[in-house]
Homo-oligomer: A and B are copies of this chain.
Amino acid sequence: MFKLLVLPGDGIGPEIIRETLRVVDWARNAGLRIELSEALAGGASIDAVGAPIAEDVVDQALASDAVLFGAVGGPKWDHLPRAQRPEMGILRLRQALDLYANLRPAVCFDELLDASALKPDLIRGLDILIVREATAGVYFSLPRANEVDADGQRRAYDTQAYTEAEIARVCRTAFALARTRQRRVCSVDKANVMETGALWRAVASEVAAEYPDVESSHMYADNCAMQLVRRPDQFDVIVTDNLFGDILSDAAAALTGSLGLLPSASLSGLGQGGRSRGLYEPIHGSAPDIAGQGVANPIATILSFALCLRWSFDRADLADALERAVRQVVSSGVRTPDIAHPGVAAVSTLQMTDAVLAALDAQ
């Protein structure tokens, strides 16, 4: 029996989660025992309890095998100071659950090639996995402050700290995952400028030596940004720190032209038998402009649940089936408005999910 905590969040979060829960039911009917619970996160939580995530919800997450997260944020909470904003809920969960490996696949749906800014030949079949360290680095290191100097001048600072253990474990996740793919890992840092970069490079090299069957390389973060644009297919797995991962994974996702369809997973290592506690969420935002209309694309959330099946529920078979069904539906031309060609009739969130469930039935 697996415990799944569902955090719908704000904006389109509740509607894409509602539909994804129908896919969770499909997994249950396929024999998977899942105990569901639901709680507040983001703006919805701020409105109800005054914090982007309540501590008892963090505890609930800690007692769960996986968290399925919708999306958070919206204009209503934009004026709040940083520490009280909706996004802090997700950062708090990453740290509390020790979800140090943020997996961000940048996969191109060839049916949506048109939507990419890149020339089709450069991204057809693209499949990059970015493994981003997500519980250390500049996001969480101390000291950090915004202060006023003796002479009245404002001054701010952040610290980016990494230990060898923090670097090694996320690199091991990347190398282990590379074994299920093309067996190539590119580790990205600024070893030419940063102390943490130099340590990152040293430790990544040591971990690489543990995986002699995986090809490894190093690249500076600026060059990686350039290479992602110029020739993205040179990459299989990229492993990098929290801040570089934030930027490079968004750049990589944008390349594919399939932004609205991309899932993500945050894992605390692959653990025994390939299972890990995990948090799963679409990479897109809460899209307040279309919230409540029933037209949001549920695919990224459904594919996030596929990653949950794969990494937290140890059911690669069901994950494969679900990913195949989504591919079929996209190939068959079913389109929510965000991915529809102008002038082509689009379906609703519900109808898109119907199509995925029908494709699963037909398998």
Q: A residues engaging B (CB < 8 A)? A: 82, 85, 87, 91, 117-119, 122, 138-139, 141, 144-146, 149, 153-165, 190-196, 198-200, 202-203, 221-223, 225-231, 243-244, 246-251, 253-255, 259
Show 26 residue pairs from A and B whose CB-CB distance is below 8 angstroms, ordered by the A residue. A82-B193, A82-B198, A85-B192, A91-B193, A117-B119, A117-B122, A139-B193, A144-B194, A144-B195, A154-B202, A155-B199, A156-B195, A157-B160, A157-B161, A158-B194, A158-B196, A159-B159, A190-B246, A221-B246, A222-B247, A222-B250, A225-B248, A225-B251, A225-B254, A226-B251, A226-B253
Which residues from chain B contact A139 at a C-beta distance below 8 Å? 193
- Of B82, B155, B164, B253, which contacts A154 at CB under 8 A? B164
Shortest beta-carbon contacts, A-B, top 7: A156-B199, A157-B161, A229-B254, A225-B251, A226-B254, A222-B250, A154-B164
Which residues from chain B contact A162 at a C-beta distance below 8 Å? 155-157
State A149–B162 Cα separation when bound (angstroms): 12
A198 and B243 in contact, given A117-B118, A226-B253 (Cβ under 8 angstroms): no
A164 and B159 in contact, given A222-B250, A225-B250, A226-B253 (Cβ under 8 angstroms): no
Taking a contact as CB atoms under 8 Å apart, the answer to whether A146 and B198 are in contact is yes
Q: Which residue of B lies closest to A81 (CB)?
A: B198
Q: Chain B nearest CB: distance from A152 CB in Å?
A: 10
A230 and B254 in contact, given A161-B156, A199-B146, A225-B225 (Cβ under 8 angstroms): yes
Taking a contact as CB atoms under 8 Å apart, the answer to whether B192 and A82 are in contact is yes
Number of copies: 2
Which residues from chain B contact A259 at a C-beta distance below 8 Å? 226
Taking a contact as CB atoms under 8 Å apart, the answer to whether B158 and A153 are in contact is no
- Of B118, B141, B158, B159, which contacts A118 at CB under 8 A? B118
Q: Chain B nearest CB: distance from A252 CB in Å?
A: 9
